[in-house]
Amino acid sequence: MTLRDRHILLGVGGGIACYRSAELVRLLRAEGAVVRCVMTASAEEFITPLTLESLSGEPVYRQLFALTEQHAMGHIALARWADLLLIAPATANLIARLAHGMADDLLTTLALVCEAPKMVAPAMNGSMWQAAATRRNVAQLRADGVTIADPEAGALACGEAGVGRMRTPEQLLEDVRRLLTPQRLRGQRWVVTTGPTWEAWDSVRLLTNRASGTVGAEIARVATRFGAEVTLIAGPGTPYIAGVRRVDVEGAEQMLAAALDHAADAALFIAAAAVSDYRVAEPSARKLKRGGAERVTLTLVRNRDIVAAVAAMARRPRRVVAFAAEEMAHDRASALAEGRRKLAAKGVDGIVVNDVSTMGHEGGCHGCWFTLEQPPVELQGDDKAAYAQAIVRQIIETNNRSSDGNDSCSDTAA
């Protein structure tokens, strides 16, 4: 999942978005990647080679003939070195040259001979992006197997607004991670619930919990990197994850309805949400006045168990995984026993017993994974992102072991 020691060849076209390319180099290096930059002549009008050389720690390549003079055909060697050729920014002119197979400078020559995956991040005026010629050229690149990191809408350097802004360095970093991650979940549809629920007791007040939704959101991010099509059913405050279909809900009843609607026939359903066990029986449509009352009595009714309901569906997902928040530090054996009990009672295929004994929902990064076929496996992570990666990897490994070769939740790349 990391980019450590991966070779990224970054082509930089001419455009004001070059400043984002410099930040992208920094982010890639922070991930452990080795980055070499190739600049067009137009790019040097916006940013100096020294900037990219300082950030990458590698020479910046600019002239085709400076490499072709080498006995070993340096431009060929540079193309073979790359694990990925990323061109960011790519202007309309550069896209046209790439689409037509031109090799009139170092970058286009490298693109023509490079056999590694290629990704292009366009950046241009909105009218240029919408022009018929540009659309044809982009379609040709897609047909040739090039990944296009579609530009965003927003204010453009020319003073106009529209679609044409190059994706942010952070978004491109995620695109690179996804492109270089084996697509072991391609063709699978996952549904993940995450975050807290809000149970209103009047028009402004509510009952909730400390869940942040981070682990479930990170599970969705990691599964998407592995090629899964993910629907994230998100409680309030859940982090936004690019490239993931999101269904926002508030109360447990809304989350249940969304889960039943989206989970049918899914390859995997993961119930990572911290759903309120109870809701107010008769919430007020108006704000209740405090008045002089020292106490207020609320009547609560039990919410339906979402993961158990999904596990009992007629069109049940192939795999159903539950989460259980337990205080493992106080009594580990009892917490694990409770996980086993819930595994059987809910009719699920696996359960993650999440340790919330030390820092509550906001800090727990330890747990155990259970399935019906194997003993518990300890899962840990230095942070919630690493914890989510461990969970997804365990799911993939478990599916591989239990698959008979016909299960749609098996590793499709195996």
Residue-wise pLDDT tens digits, 314-326: 999 999 999 988 8
Q: Do 189-402 and 7-180 have the same topology in CATH?
A: yes
Distance CA 217, CA 270 (A): 11
Element (H, E) at 378: strand 374-380
Q: What is the mean pLDDT of residues 260-279?
A: 96
**Would the pLDDT of 331 be above 50?**
yes
Which pair of structure tokens corresponds to residue 39?
């600049």
**Would the pLDDT of 119 be above 80?**
yes
Q: What is the mean pLDDT of residues 239-247?
A: 91
Contact at 8 Å (CB) between 146 and 119? yes
Tell me the pLDDT band of 410, cut-offs 50, 70 and 90.
very low
Q: Report whether the peptide linkage leading into residue 89 is cis, meaning its omega lies within 30 degrees of zero.
A: yes
- For residue 366, the model assigns a pLDDT of 63
Looking at this protein, which amino acid is placed at residue 324? Answer: A
Q: Bin 199: left if φ > 0, else alpha if -120 < ψ < 50, else beta.
A: beta
Q: What is the mean pLDDT of residues 213-237?
A: 95
Instruction: Give me the CATH code for the 189-402 domain, please.
Output: 3.40.50.10300
Distance CA 213, CA 226 (A): 20
**Would the pLDDT of 129 be above 60?**
yes
- For residue 289, the model assigns a pLDDT of 85
Count of helices and strands (H, E) across the chain: 14, 20
- How distant, in Å, are the alpha carbons of 68, 247, 370 from that of 238? 52, 11, 26
Question: Which residue among 18, 37, 114, 158 is the active-site one?
Answer: 158
Percent of the chain with pLDDT over 70: 90
DSSP assignment string, 54-104: HHHSSPEE--HHHHHTSTT-HHHHHHHH-SEEEEEEE-HHHHHHHHTT--S
**Would the pLDDT of 414 be above 50?**
no
**Would the pLDDT of 70 be above 90?**
no
Strand 278-280 and strand 300-302: the pairing is antiparallel
**Would the pLDDT of 372 be above 60?**
yes
- For residue 388, the model assigns a pLDDT of 92
Q: What is the mean pLDDT of residues 47-54?
A: 95
In three-state secondary structure terms, 10 is: strand
Tell me the pLDDT band of 307, cut-offs 50, 70 and 90.
very high
Q: Of the segments 64-73, 139-148, 152-161, 377-386, which one has the largest average pLDDT value?
A: 139-148
Distance CA 127, CA 160 (A): 10
**Would the pLDDT of 140 be above 80?**
yes
- For residue 358, the model assigns a pLDDT of 56
Is position 37 annotated as part of the catalytic site? no
Element (H, E) at 396: helix 384-402
Dihedral sign, Cα of residue 360, residue 364, residue 370, residue 375? negative
**Would the pLDDT of 205 be above 50?**
yes
- The three-point CA angle 14-153-84 to 5° equals 50
Contact at 8 Å (CB) between 215 and 272? yes
Q: What is the mean pLDDT of residues 227-245?
A: 94
Distance CA 228, CA 323 (A): 20
Which pair of structure tokens corresponds to residue 134?
């540009």
Q: What is the mean pLDDT of residues 139-150?
A: 96
* Torsion angle defined by CA atoms of residues 280, 191, 372 and 1, in that order, rounded to the nearest 10 degrees: -130
Strand 34-39 and strand 60-61: the pairing is parallel
Q: Which residue has the higher pLDDT, 32 or 154?
A: 32
Which pair of structure tokens corresponds to residue 33?
């990647």
Q: Share the mean pLDDT of the chain.
A: 88
Contact at 8 Å (CB) between 22 and 49? no
Burial 91-102 (b: 16+ CB within 10 A, else e): bbbbbbbbbeee
How many CB atoms within 10 Å of residue 382? 8
Distance CA 237, CA 98 (A): 42
- For residue 373, the model assigns a pLDDT of 64
CATH architecture under which domain 7-180 falls: 3-Layer(aba) Sandwich (3.40)
- For residue 64, the model assigns a pLDDT of 74
Residue 174 has phi, psi (to 5 degrees) of: -65, -40
* Interval 151-195: pLDDT, tens: 988 777 767 777 889 999 999 999 999 899 888 999 999 999 999
- N- to C-terminal Cα separation, the chain: 17
- For residue 38, the model assigns a pLDDT of 95
Q: Would you kindly state where each structural domain of the chain is located, as residue ranges?
A: 7-180, 189-402
